[in-house]
Amino acid sequence: MSKPMQPKHQNRFNRTSLYKPTGEVVRHSEYPCRLNFYLRPPPVEISVEDFERFALDRLQVLKTIENATLRNKKADEFRREMDRVSSEHMRMRTGHTKEAMEDRKKDHVSHFILRLAYCRSEDLRAWFLRQECALFRYRFELESRKDKEVFLKSLDINWKVVSQEDKMNMKAELESCAIWTAKAAGIQNVKDFVENETYFEVEFEKVPDLIGRRSVLVRRGKAFVPMTEQISLVMDEFKARLSKALEATAKALPRMDEDERLKPVLLNVEKQYTGKDYGDVTNVTGKVKASEVDGLSQHFPLCMSNLHQSLRKDKHLKHGGRMQYGLFLKGIGLSVEEALVFWRKAFGNHTDDKFQKEYSYNIRHNYGLEGRRVNYAPYSCMKIIQSNQPSTGDHHGCPFRHFSAQSLEATLYKNKVGAPQVNEIVRLAKDRHYQLACTRYFEVTHPEMQSGQVGTIEHPNQYFDMSQGKLPDSDAMTTD
């Protein structure tokens, strides 16, 4: 990425700026088609208000893609979902009208804003990369062949075209691989398909999906890909370039964080994925008694259930566990007075004097009554996943992120989850969809809730609220 964004004046950004001054027409040459590899930052200006609005609009689209994809929506259902969310938040009109150019400019700008917000950690980068790849694929498949050709020509991608002579030498083998591809393209005569099709020669590692479907011929480490299947090649290029760009942006981030107007906006955008902070507990504090925690534990997410059981078994938790669990209990309504009672009884092996000296201060500190008097918020899923990794003897963290596959599997079986669902949840965790794995666990253990009714779980306290029948809108966006 080039130079970092800097404020021009109070409400506008410049340098690697993000929006052209009001009234200036975007030239057709800047956006000849709706597709974009986002290789260069948009050389335009944008107001602070539009900066955040554009980002949240795009984030709505990406969250819709995530939910639809991981819930295995059928192609027509996925298309309907995308049509709906795109018309509401990210229109991409055809043609070369002024409105179409504005759509493409917003698409360009919003991608780079989210790139800034989601480059901060490996998990955030992985999430952003997955959703952007899915969005690009969806859009690419909607484009006409002519528009695809115009776009790919503008990229100057070095794909080696197989000569007619080489193609004829491999004709029989190409025909055997082209049966399903030709039928999908509506062509019955496979021989005609091979003769008229353009083939590209690429490294076989670039098209694992096509090799898995036996749709391409592989010879001496090379795959011969028909133009009909070029989406796999395009996606490989898009993913590789965006992945590299995200890493470069992450390295440049410290310079951008120096901008006090830019940083809070980016953090608020990032928070839309990391989830509600449940920071204001003044309205619920005191609703839960220390004696009620055991009974309420049936509504705890797996991370908190694991901490609760470990505390009851060992009569102790290390600092990381006490912080994660203590703030969660604060979030469900345990007042500081009840928290002191709860932890004193839980640490039954300690004398009153030792408890007062070693633990009482930290408990009061979490409630903003000691030290800097910061009213600490319960940890979100992303904070638990990303920070303070557990080590030997620790029980904090996210089971879907930090348990081994064997430990997670055993825990799920212990909690009476059926074998098919265990396999599904473990697979989601293995694929790094930790919050979706937790969401699926919630659905399996709460069969009264219909699949799809539950939004992606982003916070342990959200899980608790949902389990008790309080269903917050997990997809709602805020603009603090």
222 DSSP β-pair partners: 203, 219
Residues 475, 58: Cα–Cα separation, whole Å: 13
Separation CA 45–CA 255 (nearest Å): 19
Residue with tokens 């011969």: 224
Does the annotation place 33 within a ligand binding site?
no
Q: Is 438 part of any known ligand binding site?
A: yes
Write the CB contacts of 177 (distance below 8 Å, at least 6 apart in sequence): 214, 215, 216, 217
Write the DSSP string, 240-261.
HHHHHHHHHHHHHHHHHTT-TT
177 is in an annotated binding site: no
Structure tokens at 456: 């992606």
Contact 240, 233 (CB under 8 A): no
Q: Which residue has 């030709």 as its token pair?
A: 182
Neighbour-count burial of 298, counting CB atoms closer than 10 A to its CB (0-12 exposed, 13-18 middle, 19+ buried): exposed
133 is in an annotated binding site: no
Cα pseudo-dihedral 416, 418, 422, 424, rounded to 10: -140
Sequence-ordered alpha helix ranges (H) in 257-335: 262-274, 293-296, 302-314, 319-332
Alpha carbons 60 and 78: distance in angstroms, whole number: 15
Integer Cα distance of 30 and 256 in angstroms: 26
Distance of alpha carbon 409 from alpha carbon 430, whole angstroms:
11
Residue list for the binding site for [4Fe-4S] cluster: 303, 381, 398, 438
Residue list for the binding site: 303, 381, 398, 438
